[in-house]
Amino acid sequence: MRPLPALILAGLLAALASAPGAALVARGLGLEGAPFDTARLLALAAQHLLLVLGGAGPAILLGIAAGLWVTRPSGAGRALRPVADAGAAAAQAIPPVVVVALAFPALGFGAAPTLLALALYALMPVLRATIAAVEATPPDAVLAARAMGMTEGQALWRVVLPLAWPAMLPGVRTAVLLAAATAAVGSLAGAATLGTPIILGLQTMNELLILQGAAATAALAFLCDAALGGVAARLTGGQGAAIQAGGDRT
């Protein structure tokens, strides 16, 4: 997907989240209450983004590493594939808000429970995409790599990864999008996120704050998605098509 539609959406939502935009909507809907300050919202957005990167980043690296490990042709990892798959599915199945609530007593107030929740939530898309991408590499190319005398590491770096990574990118993108949309729950445990105005709005019965928080969170999620989409399009740039055409020659 080209990033343009996501960028337009992000722009519209950001305009809606800003104080003047929200005030305009409030007048139109007849809502009462003061809008959240734009400068504070931007500061929260920056902290939100840091949480996303801090939570999803390690999960992405771990997901890729685990995905590669369980798909290696030899070694212990292969036997652990069902375990890794089930573990990642379980991590995805627990709602992040539950993770935050459960981790709160152990990890305390602040960013830590949110980082854990985001990491767990982001793991599965990356792991699944990595496994699927590695398994979709043309088997004859992998066999040829072995037959030419590449060691397992050489075959991984020179043949498997270059062929697999275009198919791994969508998993990474999904993970970041999920994390960006989910990080707002962190405000329940006292983390500074775009969920903060939502909580504030719920406590003070100010619907305008809820609207602003929700719009800003969505805007940031779309922005992340558009950015990664752009990176993917630039990196792959037509190479993906050539690989697909070459992969199924018989």
Residue with tokens 């898309």: 125
Nearer to another protein, 203 or 250 (CB): 250
CB of 48 to another protein, least distance (A): 37
CB of 155 to another protein, least distance (A): 10
CB 77 within 8 A of CB 70: yes
Where do the DSSP E strands lie in the chain?
none
Following CA atoms 144, 145, 149, 154 in sequence, which dihedral angle do they give, to the nearest 10 degrees?
180
Nearer to another protein, 37 or 140 (CB): 140
CB 198 within 8 A of CB 209: yes
For the record, the structure tokens of 158 come out as 């020179």
For the record, the structure tokens of 83 come out as 């375990």
CB of 82 to another protein, least distance (A): 21
Angle at the Cα of 217 from the Cα atoms of 214 and 222, rounded to 5 degrees = 125
CB of 137 to another protein, least distance (A): 9
CA 90 to chain centre: 17
Nearer to another protein, 152 or 207 (CB): 152
CB of 108 to another protein, least distance (A): 48
- As a whole number of angstroms, the distance between CA 98 and CA 131 comes to 28
Binding site for another protein (CB under 8 A): 138, 140-141, 143-151, 154, 158-159, 162-163, 239, 242-243, 245-247, 249-250
Nearer to another protein, 13 or 156 (CB): 156
For the record, the structure tokens of 142 come out as 């992998």
DSSP state of 225: H
Nearer to another protein, 52 or 163 (CB): 163
CB of 247 to another protein, least distance (A): 6
Nearer to another protein, 61 or 143 (CB): 143
Type of residue at 38: T
C-alpha radius of gyration, the chain, whole number: 21
